[in-house]
Structure 1
Amino acid sequence: MSDVIDQAKRALRADLRERRQMLSDAARAQAGVGLTTQLLALVDQYGATSVSCFLSTTIEPETRGFIRAAVARGVRVLLPVTRVDGLLDWAVATEDGEIAEGLFGLPEPVGDLLGPIAVNDVDLMIIPAAAVDRTGMRLGWGRGYFDKTIGSMEGCPPVYAVVFDTEYVDEVPREKHDQPVTGIVTPTRTVRLPAAG
């Protein structure tokens, strides 16, 4: 990794994290409602019966309302569990699913693990991001789990990154291993990116 790109990524992540922390509880709650609406519409658009999603942290756009609603509709939702080898494992979300602190202090499901290849069966992937640019390049939070997962899938389904509206930007720093996404979902809109075809 070039030091210049690494420094640019770290600076942008720090700025975005700080902006997210400044959001009020009311703005966060409103964003969560909007995001649930957008994500459910996306699932309907793709006719998805199985999706992967992530349990949001306190500073991320809130995904838990969507997960509850999707499970209640009968959609199979896989949630990621981080592993020390850099791969993601997966567990099925349930209505009363227990949540614990994972490897990096992130919220993760407690339950039977299905293995890293379980994600190959989903119709749609919903992943976290710090920012996404207009070409579809995603800036993650620096651990590479989702880039590695997407890059290793033979028949990768559509991948949508969840961001706040202001995090859809003109350009993000990128490296060879960074994976593009199909589109973004924000609390107010869903955008399929031109590079996705």
Structure 2
Amino acid sequence: MVTDPSNIKRALRAELRERRRTRTSVERASATEGFTRNLQKLVTDSGASFISCYLSATHEPNTREFLNWAQANGIRTLFPIAREDGLLDWTQGDGESEAEGLFGMPEPVGEILGPMIINDVDLIIVPAAAVDASGVRLGWGRGYFDKTLGSMQKCPPVYALIFDDELLESVPREIHDQPVDGVVTPTQIHTF
């Protein structure tokens, strides 16, 4: 059925993935500067000293320069490690040492700290395909972050990292989808 949210999500993800894949190197470089500047501002303004962030893959919003800044400024950073059971483990890292994880995504190398350590962070930065005007996050379809965020008793602020054209009027939502508190784009920090 065409109106099934999972089918609509699948089609939207394909469109967004293609849009990311075709961005030019100049667009990516400019976006990276904006992402880095706005992530630094978010962390500084929130007073966060312990954050969770992901290692960006090739076509994702680039987190690498921000992670270098965080490391240089003493911001402790947790990185997600995908498990085969659909949950996330975590490790602390420098944002440089990495290996290929499940699904071919970059993951940090480090001591596994287990899934509960995420409860200690001050701020969570998550990947997203898109986010809508009410904070509904469209992930990439595996549900890792939705499960993690949905299981937290006291969740700190959660911000998704997206390109400006991925902040949409609406995205399909299913019962398991967890909203975010805001987005960081190359040009803005938007809190819902």
Q: Give the TM bin, normalised by the shorter chain.
A: over 0.9
The equivalent of 2:87 in structure 1 is: 87
Q: 1:126-184, CA deviations, whole angstroms, 9 ceiling, x for partnerless residues?
A: 00000000010000000000000000000000000000000000000110000000000
Aligned twin of 1:123:
122
Secondary structure (helix, strand or coil) at the match of 2:104 reads coil
**Once the 2 structures are TM-superposed, how far is the Cα of residue 3 of structure 1 from its aligned partner?**
7.3
Q: Does residue 140 of structure 2 align to residue 141 of structure 1?
A: yes
8 Å CA contact retained: 1:38, 1:187: yes
Where does structure 2 lack aligned partners over 5 or more consecutive residues? none
**C-alpha distance in structure 2 between counterparts of 1:45 and 1:154, whole Å:** 24
CA RMSD of aligned residues (A): 1.2
Q: Give the Cα separation in 2 of the matches to 1:184 and 1:93.
A: 24
- What's 2:168 paired with? 169
Equivalent position of 1:103 in the other structure: 102
Q: Distance in 1 between matches of 2:8 and 2:66?
A: 32
Superposed displacement of residue 24, structure 1: 0.5
State the percentage of identical aligned residues: 57
Unaligned runs of 5+ in 1: none
Residue 48 of structure 1 contacts residue 124 of structure 1 at CA under 8 Å; is this kept in 2? yes
Partner of 2:23: 23
Q: Does 1:189 align with 2:172?
A: no
Query: Is the 2:159–2:180 contact (alpha carbons within 8 Å) kept by the matching residues of 1?
Result: yes
Aligned length: 191
| Equivalent-residue separation in structure 1 for 2:17 and 2:102 (angstroms) | 20
Q: Which amino acid aligns with 2:98?
A: I
Contact 1:67–1:93, Cα closer than 8 Å, also in 2: no
TM-score, length-normalised on structure 1?
A: 0.95
User: What secondary structure sits across from 2:186 in the alignment?
Assistant: coil
Q: TM-score, normalised by structure 2?
A: 0.97
CA shift at 1:93, angstroms?
A: 1.8
Deviation at 1:26, TM superposition (A): 1.3
The aligned counterpart of 1:70 is 70
Q: Equivalents in 2 of 1:137, 1:119: separation in Å?
A: 21
Off by >2 Å, runs of 4+ in structure 1: none
